[in-house]
Structure 1
Amino acid sequence: MKNLKRQAIEQRSRARRQLLQALYQWQMSGDDPWSVRRNRLVDPKTGDIDDDYFNAAFDTISEKRDLYDTRVAEHTHRRPSTLDPVERAILWIGMYELIERFDIHPTVTINEAVELAKQFGAADSYKYINATLDKLGKALRPNG
């Protein structure tokens, strides 16, 4: 049972990484989100991902990114359009989980986002991601 749970956690983490890459590609290419999702490159070395999570997250984020950007702007001193595309994509993933996925605890959302920022973001971007999602988590889910 523990192995299955661990496997599911790892598949969700890998899905977040692929989601980050797809959201980055979407921002940089300017292509419509559906063609980005349809044509996403899957690296066979990454292993299985949580496809249901990936598809639901990508579809929701592509539809609600303006709402997510507005919420981020309300809680920070920076306009989302000025953010690095990697940071912005990580915040979109965090916002998706905080607003749409009550099955994922805010602490998990923040920790996963910080790990993505450490792996893919600029040197200290993880600090900004952590502080921003912490503020948003407290505002959106005051009871955790």
Structure 2
Amino acid sequence: MTDVFLESRRDLRQRAFQALMSLEYEGDVLEACRFAYSYDKEEEGAEPELPVFLLNLVTGVDKSKEELDQKIAQHLKAGWTVDRLTLVEKNILRLGIFEITEFDTPQLVAVNEAIELSKQFSDEKSSKFINGILSQFVTEE
């Protein structure tokens, strides 16, 4: 039986983030998704079917990186560039903005989920930064 948590959107966002981080160092989107989705599952044999939500997030962010980075850059303070951000912050922001603009997820839910990812994979300062950027983005949309 499948654990309900493993199929939750929160868990799939986390796995999408992990796949995106691995893609920063080259690789195939499908392989990155497959690894992120199944790395801690104890099933052997047949590969698990990847959730569409996970595939759509990773594929969409990967294909839209430049556009997403431009949107992020518009909300950075003067003198800051996207290249100056950590890979964790960049990928969480990309994921958050992509979900806000391309999915039916309520904007505040997408922002909150991005903040939760930053709390899990970074620190409180980063969480506040993510919140500030995404909140500005939502306000303007």
Report the TM range for the smaller structure's normalisation.
0.7 to 0.9
Instruction: Give runs of aligned pairs for residues 42-61 of structure 1, distance below 5 A.
Output: 42=38, 43-44=40-41, 51-61=51-61
1:99 equivalent in structure 2: 101
CA drift of 1:35 comes to 4.1
Q: SS of the residue aligned with 1:124?
A: helix
Cα 1:105–1:136 change in 2 (3 A) is same
State the Cα deviation string for residues 27-56 of structure 1 (Å, max 9, x = none): 1x22343443354462227xx9x8111111
1:4 equivalent in structure 2: none
Structure 1: unaligned runs, 5 residues or longer: 1-6
State the Cα deviation string for residues 55-102 of structure 1 (Å, max 9, x = none): 11111111101000000001112322221111111001101111101x
Number of residue equivalences: 130
Instruction: Give runs of aligned pairs for residues 1-144 of structure 1, distance below 5 A.
Output: 11-27=8-24, 29-40=25-36, 42=38, 43-44=40-41, 51-77=51-77, 78-101=80-103, 103-140=104-141
Q: Letter of the 2:52 partner, please give it.
A: D
TM-score, normalised relative to structure 1 = 0.79
CA root-mean-square deviation: 2.5
The structure that is helix-richer by fraction is: 1
TM-score, normalised relative to structure 2 = 0.81
Q: Letter of the 1:63 partner, please give it.
A: K
